[in-house]
Amino acid sequence: MDRQPRAALVFCDRIVEFARGYSSNDSGVLLGYAIAHELGHLLRHEPGHCGTGVMKATWRHKDIVLMLQGIMAFTKEDRAHIQAGLTARDQTLSIMARAK
């Protein structure tokens, strides 16, 4: 098991800049999506991005509309990668616990 702690960084100033032109209340929604995206990286079984959805590599302003409507989500592929990551961690922890 990788002993190196994993971390995710979200830069609020970049979110605010990305949300420029929308209401200040909207930047909180976008910040939530950015946090979900970074958590997705931590939870996935393998690194990567998808072409659509929360794990899209680069968001555009048209994606803001989807986010504000609450219809951008993790894709089925993302969900499968996240589930595989969680399963792998559970198995590793179980093996480590039995080894003690």
pLDDT, tens only, 11-43: 999 998 888 887 767 888 999 999 999 999 999
User: pLDDT of 39-50, one tens digit each?
Assistant: 999 998 788 899
- More confident: 7 or 10: 10
Number of domains the chain contains: 1
Q: Hey, CA dihedral for 98, 4, 6, 53, is it positive or negative?
A: negative
Q: Please check whether residue 73 lies inside any domain of the structure.
A: yes
**φ and ψ at residue 50, rounded to 5 degrees:** -120, 170
Q: Please check whether residue 7 lies inside any domain of the structure.
A: no
Q: What is the pTM of this model?
A: 0.84
Q: Please check whether residue 5 lies inside any domain of the structure.
A: no
Q: Please check whether residue 55 lies inside any domain of the structure.
A: yes
Q: Please check whether residue 90 lies inside any domain of the structure.
A: yes
Is-contact 59 34, C-beta < 8 A? Answer: no
Is-contact 57 64, C-beta < 8 A? Answer: no
Q: Give the residue numbers spanning the domain of 20.
A: 12-99
